[in-house]
Amino acid sequence: MELLTDSFISAILLIASLDPEVFSIVWVSLKVSGISTLIASLMGAPLGFLIAYGSFKGKRILIVCLNTMLALPTVVIGLFVYSFISRRGIFGPFDLLYTQKAIIIGQVILILPIVTTLTIAAISRIDERYRKTAMTLGANRWQTACVIFREARFGIVAAVIAAFGRVIAEVGISMMLGGNARGFTRTMTTAMALEYDKGEFILAVALGIILLVLSFGINLIFHFFQGRTRT
Amino acid sequence: MLYALSKITRKYGSRTVLDIPLMEIEKGAIYALLGPNGAGKTTLLNILGFLEVPTTGDILYSSKPVNFSESSLQNLRKEVVMIDQHPILFTSTVYKNVEFGLKIRRVPQKKRGIIIEETLDLVGMRDFEQAQAHRLSGGETQRVALARALVVSPEVLLCDEPTSNLDVENQAAIINTLKQINEQRKITIMFTTHYMYQVSSLAHHTFFLDHGKLTTAQAEPFCQG
């Protein structure tokens, strides 16, 4: 218990001192997770919309496959991407391994199914009357689709937040594809794992606190935005 | 003649929910569509509103045969607006809701504002212009839905039980507005209802639908007393 309280107090002091290493790690984490979330959202939200809105053969199978991909372990994705970008892989000549780009590729694979399936769920929950109302007021297919997308916006934002929460907290992909290089590919989670291995808890606890505060802040912003729009 | 329906059927699977050999609707009149629950009233309104395609049969609209391709139906929908029994408003302000149809028709912003204010005045909702639509009561929602339909100056207004679940005051407001727009703008109106007093106060003609079949092809003039 003493170890925890001592580490916690020291961690708070470390954060308060604006330690450059801590903030370098936080910056790398935010940058990598932010870019991967952006890419996955730009791909996953329209894809989820098309799957939910469209009717085509194999739709249910596709949704089952996407749901299955939600359970993909990060180490499996790490291994899969590694096989493509390692020196012997087909993308080896691009020198992607142990770069932030490699982490982003892996993280996009990790969260694309999350954004897509949660978007499908958000669109599917939208009342059928919105479609009918838009149509009877003269909207074409595209305009009707925009109405439905707009009505599902809170669900889609929630999907994006869930995806960001998943990548910022993952460790397997960042470790396997990023290599935990200090100041370059060291993220909050890989740094915490390293510090734990070293038996140094202060930096790990400090990063853990920042991770929780970030997560809380993002959810707070979402609820504030949701509340303002609905009142 | 505005509508002429010939040999219209609508089937869901093997179940025939509508079977109308002939039906004619005149321009500028108000029609009440009566019938028990499940008689096919909403399905008929959907077909008249070009929101649903009949399984078989032909429709003449403004003396021209209706082509059931999506692009053709979409053009026809710009003239016919349907208001649901329980209308749903977009999660936005009352103004934005009413503006929707005008935006789609690319009406200039300044003109949109004038039309919206006039129409909100007509339905008695001008004071709610900037209110969030989802916070309105049932009666207010129905009035905004009516305004949203009226701003696009439709030829035909189809109302599915426009006063169901409304208090007497809101019922009277809706009925008066429908009567007023028919008299002033010559909009053809068809509404479904279970209330005979609404038929007597509003409808020029009535259709009776039972088990998907009309009792008469021509609407019967409504006779009071």
Kindly report the number of other CB atoms within 10 A of residue A151's CB atom.
21
pLDDT recorded at residue A228: 55
How many domains does chain A divide into?
Answer: 1
A61-87 pLDDT tens trace? 999 999 999 999 999 999 999 999 999
pLDDT recorded at residue B161: 92
Say whether residue A227 is in contact with chain B using an 8 A CB cutoff: no
B56-61 and B205-210 beta bridge pairing: unpaired
Q: Are B90 and A151 within 8 A, CB to CB?
A: yes
- pTM greater than the 0.90 cutoff: no
B106-130 pLDDT tens trace? 999 999 999 999 999 999 999 999 9
Say whether residue B87 is in contact with chain A using an 8 A CB cutoff: yes
Asked whether B1 and B24 are in contact (CB, 8 A), the reply is yes
Mean pLDDT, residues A196-221 taken together: 88
Q: How far B223 CA sits from the closest chain A CA (Å)?
A: 32
Answer whether residue B66 shows pLDDT above 50: yes
Domain annotation covers residue A39: yes
Say whether residue A55 is in contact with chain B using an 8 A CB cutoff: no
Cα B5 to Cα B217: distance, rounded to the nearest angstrom: 9
Asked whether A206 and A22 are in contact (CB, 8 A), the reply is yes
Cα B56 to Cα A85: distance, rounded to the nearest angstrom: 59
User: Which CATH number do you get for residue A152?
Assistant: 1.10.3720.10
How far from A7 is each of A1, A199, B150, B188, CA to CA, in Å? 10, 11, 67, 77
Compute the CA torsion angle B113, B166, B135, B83 (nearest 10 deg).
Answer: -50
Averaged pLDDT of chain B: 92
Domain annotation covers residue A91: yes
Domain annotation covers residue A204: no
Domain annotation covers residue A8: no
pLDDT recorded at residue A225: 67
Domain annotation covers residue A77: yes
The tokens of A189 are what?
Answer: 């989670």
Domain annotation covers residue A227: no
Averaged pLDDT of chain A: 91
Q: Residue B3: pLDDT band by 50, 70, 90 thresholds?
A: very high
Residue-range definition of the domain harbouring residue A127: 29-188
B36-56 pLDDT tens trace? 998 999 999 999 999 999 999
pLDDT recorded at residue A11: 85
Q: Residue B99: pLDDT band by 50, 70, 90 thresholds?
A: very high
The tokens of A127 are what?
Answer: 């009342």
Residue A125's Cβ-side half-sphere holds a number of Cα atoms within 13 Å equal to 13
Helix ranges restricted to H, A125-201: 128-136, 141-151, 153-168, 172-173, 188-198
Answer whether residue A231 shows pLDDT above 50: no
Q: Residue B198: pLDDT band by 50, 70, 90 thresholds?
A: confident
Cα three-residue angle B187-B185-B31, rounded to 5 degrees: 30
Answer whether residue B225 shows pLDDT above 70: no
Cα A137 to Cα B90: distance, rounded to the nearest angstrom: 12
Domain annotation covers residue A6: no
Residues of A in contact with B49 (CB under 8 A): 136
Asked whether A175 and A83 are in contact (CB, 8 A), the reply is no
Domain annotation covers residue A196: no
Residues of B in contact with A133 (CB under 8 A): 84, 87-88, 90
